[in-house]
Structure 1
Amino acid sequence: MSTQLVSGRGCGILSVDLFNAVRVEVNMTILWLGDEDCHQVSRVGGKAANLSQLAASFRVPTGFCVTPELYKEWFAGTQDAGSPGRSVDADLSNIVSQEYRVMAERCGLSEPAVAVRSSALDEDGHNSSFAGQYDTYLNIKSPEAIEEAIVKCWDSAGGERMASYREEHGLSADSLGVSVLVQQLVPADVSGVVFSANPITGARDEVMINSTWGLGESLVSGMVTPDTLVVQKSDFRVEDSYIGEKAQMTVLAEGGTTEVEVPRAQRESQTLDGEKTQEVAPLSMDLEQHMGWPVDLEFAVHDNNLFPLQ
């Protein structure tokens, strides 16, 4: 199989299944989405493992995981030095530089923008998802900036917020470790969250979709009132719909993201048409069947292509 972009429109987003056909041999401290070892929660945490499993069947943007082995080395170093948040060592610097070059080559971009986020080993996506507990860093473009974001993710694993979450959910105070996922960023035209069961009523025969313009941060942070669609699983009929005002949206900016006002005429326009709604709803149902329980999934639409994100 030859490497190619997932869209003939030149969107530059490389799907994992196409990438892995020509991947290079790497150190086991780095696992790429789609690798068999990357399917294991014990190696990369629930978030990354689930994405890796989905990569065989869905258009998941390419990415690699920094496994907990490097986190443990870094953490031991901070304990010895008494200086949490110190710079990464030369080994990680070299590894990140190498893997970022690989990603750039496979994406056909000189500096692909990435998202950097944590994936805890004791998150399973069902009983303990750690949703909203870890920081996410978006639109990161250089190896040095990626390294800095990785360290920030590692730092957040031991913070007070995480300690409170673990206590509240009956988890051990000692983390099993944290993996960090570095994934190609989708410059979303529309972002959303789809629930394979209605989170308001609990109805298992309905899918609920929330969506908004731009990147998903304005949605997951509660900054905007999104569009809401309730879809019947039996025939994908839209049973109920609400078009939110969507006054703001998150867009890419130099070194990160920013919030901008949505043009007034666009605020009350529906973000997902019927065709795309009938892609998103079945996707959540397929994932529910795969996982064995109701799921919520963040997604992005770029150049009319649908991408599962996390």
Structure 2
Amino acid sequence: MKYVRLLQELTREDLSSAGGKGANLGELVLAGMKVPQGFVLTVEGYRRCITNVHLPKINVYDLPTLEDVTSKIQMEIENVYLPDEVTIEVLKAYRRMGSPKVAVRSSATAEDLPSASFAGQQETYLNIQEESAVLDAIKKCWASLWAPRAVQYRSLQGFGDSEVALAVVIQEMAPHEVSGVVFTVNPLSNDSSELIINAAHGVGEALVQGEIIPDQWLVRRPDGAVLKFTPAPKNRQSPSPFIRTQRPVRGCLTSQQVRELACLCLRIEEHFNGVPQDIEWSYGLGEFYLLQSRPITTLKD
């Protein structure tokens, strides 16, 4: 197919076509990880459909002007006509998956690079089902490439708008009793003998976006032993200030699950040539699913 690639067909060599997220998902499949089935609408699809975007020279610090200009671009993209050859390939791949609920995720060519993290600059849409909704979500992902904060961030990082395009990952929703993020090196202390696991019940997007405070485990490398556990703050209070419960605080993962997840993530780091990784995952039906891996860009040299 010309515009669609299955995840298992991708490697890190496909960054320019599948974007950072798509290429790295292909690497996770190659590494033998359990990755939900899916495919990528490559940047060739974006360029086939989006041909006339022009961002005038503006001061990216002038937010009112930036928002005005980019909102018009985004509206045009969300209403763009999808040529039959693109639509046919996308829907064929979606039907082959069984038309399940999917995550539709942006995958920019200037994303998940060792030198800069564009994570969170473009949009993700979860629990999308039915063909028309998938096609609409794809266009919304394309439009998010031109959101004000994305345009501003690219400018500040020195990326010209002609250098970026957007692939879109369409991937079956993984079971998500628990979801979270692993940093294979402690980014808070820069300690390479420790890793950090953050986790919360349900879908992990709110955690990734920093909207909730998760349970957190400080874990020893390489054996996955828990060094410290910090539970998420609880909003619920005891019905009486005079009643104290003696039940121990437990997180949303057991110590054995923490150990298993740590070992999985260290295997991923090894696959990426020992480069410390920021890894998204979910857990359900008794198994861990790997959803994304990118280099940690906040570590000090």
- The reply to whether TM is greater than 0.5 is yes
Q: Aligned equivalents of 2:23 and 2:235: distance in 1?
A: 35
* Deviating more after overlay: 233-242 vs 202-211: 233-242
**Alignment counterpart, residue 28 of structure 2, candidates 33, 50, 54:** 54
Answer yes or no: is 1:282 the counterpart of 2:273: no
Which gives a bigger RCO, structure 1 or 2 (Cα 8 Å, sep 6+)?
2
**Alignment counterpart, residue 198 of structure 1, candidates 167, 186, 192:** 186
**Alignment counterpart, residue 231 of structure 1, candidates 219, 227, 236:** 219
Q: Which runs of 5+ in 2 are unaligned?
A: 55-72, 237-246, 293-301
Answer yes or no: is 1:127 the counterpart of 2:102: no
Query: What residue in structure 1 maps to residue 78 of structure 2?
Result: 85
Q: Aligned equivalents of 2:250 and 2:115: distance in 1?
A: 36
Query: What residue in structure 1 maps to residue 5 of structure 2?
Result: 31
Q: Is the 8 A contact 2:193 2:220 kept in 1?
A: yes
Q: Which runs of 5+ in 1 are unaligned?
A: 1-26, 105-110, 249-265
How far residue 225 of structure 1 moved from its aligned partner, in angstroms, is 1.9
Larger Rg: 2
Answer yes or no: is 1:96 the counterpart of 2:96: no
How far residue 194 of structure 1 moved from its aligned partner, in angstroms, is 0.3
Q: Is the 8 A contact 1:198 1:207 kept in 2?
A: yes
Deviations, residues 179-215 of structure 1 (Å, cap 9, x unaligned):
1000011130000100001011110110100000000
Query: Counterparts in 2 of 1:158-237, with a 5 A limit?
Result: 158-237=146-225
State the number of aligned residues: 259
Q: Is the 8 A contact 1:78 1:85 kept in 2?
A: no
Q: Aligned equivalents of 2:267 and 2:125: distance in 1?
A: 29
- Over the matched positions of the two proteins, sequence identity in percent amounts to 34
Q: Aligned equivalents of 2:199 and 2:270: distance in 1?
A: 23
User: Following superposition, which runs of at least 4 residues in structure 1 exceed 6 angstroms of deviation?
Assistant: none
Q: Aligned equivalents of 1:71 and 1:291: distance in 2?
A: 28
Q: Aligned equivalents of 1:164 and 1:300: distance in 2?
A: 31
How far residue 152 of structure 1 moved from its aligned partner, in angstroms, is 0.6
Deviations, residues 126-160 of structure 1 (Å, cap 9, x unaligned):
22231111110000011111100000111111232
Q: Do the aligned partners of residues 185 and 93 (structure 1) sit closer, same or farther apart at CA in structure 2, a change above 3 Å counting?
A: same
TM-score scaled by structure 1? 0.78
Q: Aligned equivalents of 1:113 and 1:246: distance in 2?
A: 31
Q: Is the 8 A contact 1:226 1:246 kept in 2?
A: no
Query: What residue in structure 1 maps to residue 60 of structure 2?
Result: none
TM-score scaled by structure 2? 0.80
How far residue 39 of structure 1 moved from its aligned partner, in angstroms, is 5.2
**Alignment counterpart, residue 291 of structure 1, candidates 272, 280, 284:** 272
For 1:34, the aligned partner's letter is: Q
How far residue 46 of structure 1 moved from its aligned partner, in angstroms, is 1.4
